[in-house]
Structure 1
Amino acid sequence: MLTGSEKVNYGQLDALLKIKGLQRIENPQTTEAVHRKCMKCYPKIFKKEKVVLPGIPEKRTKGVHACNFKNDKQLSGDSYKIGLNKMKSPQKFRSASPEFPEKLHNLIKILKKIPILRTAEEHETIYKTMKLIPDVCSQLSDAELKELSTTVIGEHWGRGNKVDGSQGFFAILKGSIKTHSTYYKRMIGGYFVEAAVQSSAPNLTESSSQAKLGVGDCFGTLIPLPARLQQDVLAVITDESSDFLKIPSADYLRIREEIAKREKLAKEELIRGSPYYQSWPMVFIFHLTAQLKWRTFPTDHVFVKVGEISKYVGFIKSGCCNAYRIIPALVKRPLGKMIKRMRQILIGQLQPTESFGEVSILLQIPSTYMLKAATPVELGMIDAADILELDPIIQMLLLQTSKPLFENITEDDIKLDYIKKEIEKEWKHKKDMILKEVLFYNGIIPGVGKWVHEPVPFRKDEKKYQVYPHVASYRT
């Protein structure tokens, strides 16, 4: 059955049969050493088929200006390396689209203008492009991006020129560059990024210390280097005629300082506007602004639950919050049966500049109400741990000026208010049912047939009391 089979290696089979010392007619016993040798050669008789797994096709881009935007990955220590042919991350810009070269050309054309001569639409185009570059948007906040988009400039360099990146951050929009030193960019965190070249690349003509970077890559630094490090530390050489988007380091530092001042002033005004803090000395308010962080919450987000200690002190910058108490109430079912259910009763509302959570955190008192966002809310938050770490004098001042919210509302008041609202709701439902029955009895169906009423349009030049032929009009 095995004759002619492609699964048997006949050469190995012959070698196995020729092993001396195997059991035969003339040799009735096989030695242990020969047995081990035979068992070692036996598996080689059968051919093993090589399993070929399906390959994953590589994504390729078409077009002259095809580019790949990527994020650098940390390998070891403070050194970050990228490979010459490792741009495999998902694209954020549809470089294969036919309109991409035109968009890139328009962006380069916009950057050639002086920033003060650009229109609002052109600034918006630059802002959207900067958001697509990972090295830029990962280091800058949205506010910084918007302001820097009005100050960035474009630079054009010919082939073979050395570009110094120690005083600005550059994004390549056209052409390519080669690294001139070990590092080619420095991130805001303070670490330098190293460019590594794959020595196994067949078409690599650069030296082992140089890497080629193309469209979408960045080099330079947002924070200027000290004078002792500026000499060719972040320098690159243009491999061809290239265009760059440049963020000057001086502009970044100026805008970052302006934004920090505005945020500090906004935090001070928010805390100072709260009724509890209007008489506070500014020295103590500075301690709170240093810990305050901005957060935005959607509608119906629960800030505080009943029976829980607040996790933070909140200062409402915009929006409003509703406070609820949960009480047991009798609910009437359709068949007239009364059952007991828990109901949320609105007991109050917090408006902008008001705050909550101070007393609950400092005295470790569980909340007696539930606080929920009635609209989207922008909140200034100070974590409970930061409040408890404040100076004892500031904590005493907080307890003296703050008061528990909705403490004057008793449970009897809530029950009476609930009964009053339920009676009003029941009476309104009863009136609506009576009105519908009367209209139906008289054959009146609102919105159908002759009972469709359309508003009569009036022009501004017409008199308020206009007499129509079929309508009697009287002045009152």
Structure 2
Amino acid sequence: MSRGRNSAEQRHADIDYTQLKRLIQLNDSMSSAEETHKGFMELYDGIFQQPQTSLPKKQLKGRMHPPVKPSLYESVQEVNRHQPHGKLAQESLMNQAIKALKKLPIERSQSEHHVINKLLKGVHSLNSQLGLQELKQISTITTVETWDRGQIIFAHNGFYLVLKGSVKPFNHETLREDQTVSTIATGGSFGSCEPVNAAEGSDIVQCVLTLETCEILKISRSGYEKLKKDILARDHEVKAALIQGCQLYLHWPKLSINHLVDGMQLKTFPANQVLVKEGKICSFVAFIARGECNILQDARSLIKSVDTKSCRVRSVVVGKLGPKQSFGEVSILLDQPSPCTVITATEVHGGIIQPECVKGLDSVTTALILQTAQPVCGKLSEEEVMKEFLTQERMKKWELEKRKILSAALFYNGVQPGRGKWTFNRGPRGKTEKSNKSI
């Protein structure tokens, strides 16, 4: 009974009795049945009270509500969603780098070295001091130091990066804080990897005072100097091996090879790049380590007119250059135009020496080059170029005809290259095409 009474009270509570009273009095006020029906339909919905649905607080306008403090989990999720590469990501990278730096360099894994390098790549003051190879290997000499509050750090022997905490520039002569320079917070740096002159040293902070407990990354100047020497030594070995790998330079004395190494630059050329133009002096001496180049010569008798203003010269492949070969020495030293064009057939890795470096070599090394080096390709006669051109054209036609015959045979037997399916339907060509279309 109590349940029925409560439901009745709830049902009566949902009725607007004012609207119900107006609905009852409607018969007395209306003259015709049509007007009564129309008025009843307009007032009928109003006798039932609609439940009030409250909108979320962020959608209400015109009212001030006290801010609701989100939980810790919600706030972390919000930061991760809106700032994936912001402050939180930077702090995470700092923590990972500190954890990796706590280990000795020899004990760090490859992923830990990668984390340290990723952190240091974002430090502009360090990138301006290091080369690309040094920046790749700098993680092998980095360490981390923990400093308590109120300690003085002298930065005359290396480069320092603040990972946690903050420091204030300090003048060790007056034993006071340097008020002209602002506080160095997390991510800031001081000191230098390279020795600085007195004039340049005014812009570099050399002494700081810790304002709190700090974690500071250090790159010692002695370690950096050793790293530079190791990189130069490895680079020298690679270049010397590249030159001695060429057959013409195999028995050269070490001193003369070192003269060539000093002027060499390692370089990579993409495919289909013109390295030497026929009739022009070579722009550098090249030693090929990996890759292949085509040697082309123009066939003057095969000139085709494109329009009235220009013409097209057909080129014939007369040779190839590969690993352990070089070119350009004779052309530069004797100022002779190249008798052919050299184009990279694949990506080519090797070393180049600029003309000013080649011409600046001593007389002994220059004489050795002229004795051992050979031209890229001898100038062929017009008849020989034409003969080579006809041979290559025949080979192209034969390859094209062979490809047509092979594809026709495969198509006749129902083989569809590239699909990995075999169909055993044999018969006329039209029937095979129909079966292939149905598949």
What TM bracket, shorter-length normalisation? Answer: 0.5 to 0.7
Aligned position for 1:100 = 90
Give the TM-score, by structure 1 length.
Answer: 0.61
Aligned-partner Cα distance in 2 for 1:182–1:349: 67
Aligned-partner Cα distance in 2 for 1:130–1:451: 50
Aligned-partner Cα distance in 1 for 2:301–2:402: 24
Tell me, yes or no, if the aligned pair for 1:181 and 1:210 is still in contact at 8 Å.
Answer: no
Aligned-partner Cα distance in 2 for 1:394–1:453: 65
Counterpart amino acid of residue 327 in structure 2: F
CA deviation vs aligned residue, 1:182-234 (integer Å, no higher than 9, x gap): 99xxxxxxxxxxxxxxxxxxxxxx753333222222211214679xxx9x981
| Displacement of 1:253 | 1.2
CA deviation vs aligned residue, 1:421-459 (integer Å, no higher than 9, x gap): 22232244345556667887x7x65439x99418xxxxx
Q: Secondary structure at the match of 2:338?
A: coil
Aligned-partner Cα distance in 1 for 2:407–2:290: 42
Residues 430/276 of structure 1: CA separation in 2 closer, same or farther (3 Å cut): closer
Match of 2:316 among 320, 323, 345: 345
Alignment of 1:38-437 (within 5 A): 96=86, 98-181=88-171, 208-223=179-194, 234-328=206-300, 341-407=312-378, 409-430=380-401, 432-433=403-404
Q: Secondary structure at the match of 2:217?
A: strand
Q: Secondary structure at the match of 1:293?
A: strand
Aligned-partner Cα distance in 1 for 2:213–2:85: 20
Q: Secondary structure at the match of 1:327?
A: strand
Deviates more, 1:206-215 or 1:115-124: 206-215
How many residue pairs match? The answer is 331
CA deviation vs aligned residue, 1:273-322 (integer Å, no higher than 9, x gap): 22222232222222222212222222222211111101211112222222
Tell me, yes or no, if the aligned pair for 1:167 and 1:225 is still in contact at 8 Å.
Answer: no
Tell me, yes or no, if the aligned pair for 2:296 and 2:315 is still in contact at 8 Å.
Answer: yes
Aligned-partner Cα distance in 1 for 2:135–2:408: 63
Tell me, yes or no, if the aligned pair for 1:306 and 1:367 is still in contact at 8 Å.
Answer: yes
Aligned-partner Cα distance in 2 for 1:288–1:367: 22
Residues 252/400 of structure 1: CA separation in 2 closer, same or farther (3 Å cut): same
Give the TM-score, by structure 2 length.
Answer: 0.66
Tell me, yes or no, if the aligned pair for 2:264 and 2:351 is still in contact at 8 Å.
Answer: yes
Aligned-partner Cα distance in 2 for 1:284–1:156: 51
Aligned-partner Cα distance in 2 for 1:267–1:432: 44
Counterpart amino acid of residue 359 in structure 1: V
Aligned-partner Cα distance in 2 for 1:219–1:433: 71
Q: Secondary structure at the match of 2:383?
A: helix
Aligned position for 2:437 = none
Q: Secondary structure at the match of 2:422?
A: coil
- Greater share of helix residues, 1 or 2? 2
Counterpart amino acid of residue 133 in structure 1: V
Tell me, yes or no, if the aligned pair for 2:172 and 2:207 is still in contact at 8 Å.
Answer: no
Residues 253/410 of structure 1: CA separation in 2 closer, same or farther (3 Å cut): same
Q: Secondary structure at the match of 1:99?
A: helix
Q: Secondary structure at the match of 1:212?
A: coil
Counterpart amino acid of residue 158 in structure 2: G
Tell me, yes or no, if the aligned pair for 1:94 and 1:100 is still in contact at 8 Å.
Answer: no
CA deviation vs aligned residue, 1:142-163 (integer Å, no higher than 9, x gap): 3323332123111122222111
Aligned-partner Cα distance in 2 for 1:372–1:166: 52
Aligned-partner Cα distance in 2 for 1:311–1:95: 46
Counterpart amino acid of residue 352 in structure 1: P
Q: Secondary structure at the match of 1:148?
A: helix
Aligned-partner Cα distance in 1 for 2:292–2:409: 42
| Displacement of 1:355 | 1.1
Tell me, yes or no, if the aligned pair for 2:146 and 2:216 is still in contact at 8 Å.
Answer: yes
Residues 164/365 of structure 1: CA separation in 2 closer, same or farther (3 Å cut): same
Aligned-partner Cα distance in 2 for 1:392–1:438: 65
Identity of aligned residues (%): 34
Aligned-partner Cα distance in 1 for 2:110–2:183: 35
Residues 182/346 of structure 1: CA separation in 2 closer, same or farther (3 Å cut): farther
Aligned position for 1:192 = none
Q: Secondary structure at the match of 1:213?
A: coil
Alpha-carbon RMSD across the aligned residues, in angstroms, is 3.7
Stretches of structure 2 that go unaligned for 5 or more consecutive residues are 1-74, 77-82, 305-310, 424-439
| Displacement of 1:328 | 4.4
Tell me, yes or no, if the aligned pair for 1:148 and 1:251 is still in contact at 8 Å.
Answer: no
